[in-house]
Amino acid sequence: MMRVLLINPSFLEEIWSLKYLMKVYGRKSFAPPLSLLTVAALLPKDWELQVVDLNIGRLTGRDWDWADTVMFTGMNCQQSSLLALIREAKQCSKTVVCGGPYPTFSPQEVLDAGCNILVRGEAEDVADRLIQSIENKANGEVIEGSSRPDVTASPTPRFDLLRLMDYGSAAIQISRGCPVDCEFCNVVTLYGRRPRYKTNNQVLSELDALYDAGYRGTVFVCDDNFISERKHALSILGSVARWVEEQGRPFGFFTQAGINLGGDEEMMRSMVRARFEGVLVGIESPNEESLRISGKKPNIGNPVRQWLKNINENGINVVGAFVVGLDGENPDIQDRVCEFVESISLPIAQILPLKIWPETRLWRRLESTGRLIPQKTSAVHEAELNYVPETSEDQVLKRVTGIYARLYEPANYLARAFRCVKAVRTPQSSWESIRARLRAVKGNMTNATLKDQFYSLRAFMSLVWAIGLRPSLMRQFWGQLIKIFKERPDRLEQYVELCLGGESMRRYSKVVARRVDAIMRRLP
């Protein structure tokens, strides 16, 4: 019998770490390591398995002593933790298996650190070979699938191996691949351009597994473009909508989708019925020349602002992702991004300096022109460039921190969040009494456990402490809160969550500013 320890290395604090939100809601990390849980389901049922997420807890000597084989996943932002863990595992004389984006694109660094078996790409179609290699204690072996696996053969992840309530969100994956070939994105390199969807029954089985594990709350559907194949997406949404109603609405969902979602009324209505409450949309830039160079075709020549407003008006929170430092960018990009965000009342905007990921079209283009700095790629984080921009590194980084400072200035953010909530196209009702309003607010908490309700109250008190008691913001915060309670009590929870999200982003912007300041001091 084989004993396998599956380890998720620790992350640097990144934009999606949501450190403040996790703390006030009593969670330890944003989402579980879905890749490890999926691989665990591919391993023989008679093997003993343990999962350790170093973003939740720590490794002990007992963990090392227990395991025969140690398996790691890893993204670029986990590079330093991953390499150190591989070396520690080798000192403990363990067979080391690695997979994930970082080992896939930087295999030699992982092998040099001591990895025995390295899996490049997706694991489903090479699971038998992987199992055999582990049993034979192979050394220096690189396993690479010859094709994109059929995800209808992918198993239900082993959600039972983790305490899901330690996370701000559970996670499932419904599809892989994206037809939009943006030159800076590594999704196509990882998963291809042809979307591959799981069956409706597979998706419902995964929701059953989460429900049976006792989880209630947000589920992150970590597809890169959930709506890329419209027919499949609508079919799955119909099944999910029926499931959530039958089960008493235990989950709300958040996913990623293309901007064209805002032009598809049927898709938006279907997502709302299935309790999809939020969507991350790659806006990238308000500059069409940058979009054209990057190959972001759906964002060119379309009513992007109206589409984004449509998504919000249908009751789906939009998180907009922007990239600074793209080729073709205008010098006034800082002002243009801020104007764009304000014009559509977009509360949460992620602002990232451009990153060049290995094997992307942009990687190859910049490498051919001598603008790539490959030695900075492995551990690149959100305040460091690994390429030579058309302007300069200090200009790109100053623009990033400048946008953050303007968008998350508290009074400005509160006004934007208020406008966003008021714009949601939910049928108005005549709220006849305070009791009726309280019932509407309580309706959002129907499926929350007592512990969840306690942490929601704690989160609200943290918001009051951070904003509601600040003299310069008291009148604005409480005035807006009372107006929402009077006019749209069904949206009170959304407003509070947006305010908490803004406070989290404000604090994260300080982290970015400190990192940028450290880098600027090193620049010649």
Spatial separation of the C-alpha atoms in residues 175 and 202, rounded to whole Å = 11
Q: Which segments of 300-426 does DSSP mark as H helices, in order? A: 304-313, 333-343, 361-368, 393-407, 410-422
Burial of 495 (0-12, 13-18, 19+ CB in 10 A): buried
Structure confidence at residue 371 (pLDDT): 95
Q: Are 191 and 148 in contact (CB under 8 A)?
A: yes
Please state the pTM of the whole predicted model: 0.90
Q: Which two tokens stand for residue 386?
A: 């690994």
Spatial separation of the C-alpha atoms in residues 349 and 341, rounded to whole Å = 8
pLDDT surpasses 50 at 101: yes
Structure confidence at residue 474 (pLDDT): 94
pLDDT surpasses 70 at 94: yes
Tell me the CA end-to-end span of the chain in Å, nearest whole number: 57
Average per-residue pLDDT in the chain?
Answer: 91
Structure confidence at residue 490 (pLDDT): 87
Least Cα distance to 141 among 101, 185, 110 occurs for: 110
Q: Which two tokens stand for residue 109?
A: 């660094």
pLDDT surpasses 80 at 448: no
Q: Which segments of 433-473 does DSSP mark as H helices, in order? A: 434-443, 450-463
Spatial separation of the C-alpha atoms in residues 515 and 389, rounded to whole Å = 19
Decide the pairing of beta strands 217-221 and 69-72. unpaired
Render pLDDT for 17-37 as a digit per residue (tens, 0 to 9): 888 888 888 899 999 999 999
The arithmetic mean of pLDDT across residues 464-483, rounded, is 94
Q: Lowest-pLDDT range, 213-227, 260-274, 311-325, 367-381? A: 367-381
The arithmetic mean of pLDDT across residues 118-144, rounded, is 93
Structure confidence at residue 216 (pLDDT): 92
C-alpha separations of 473 from 39, 465, 477, 478 in Å: 49, 11, 6, 8
Name all domains of the chain by residue range, CATH numbers in brackets: 3-144 (3.40.50.280), 169-407 (3.20.20.70)
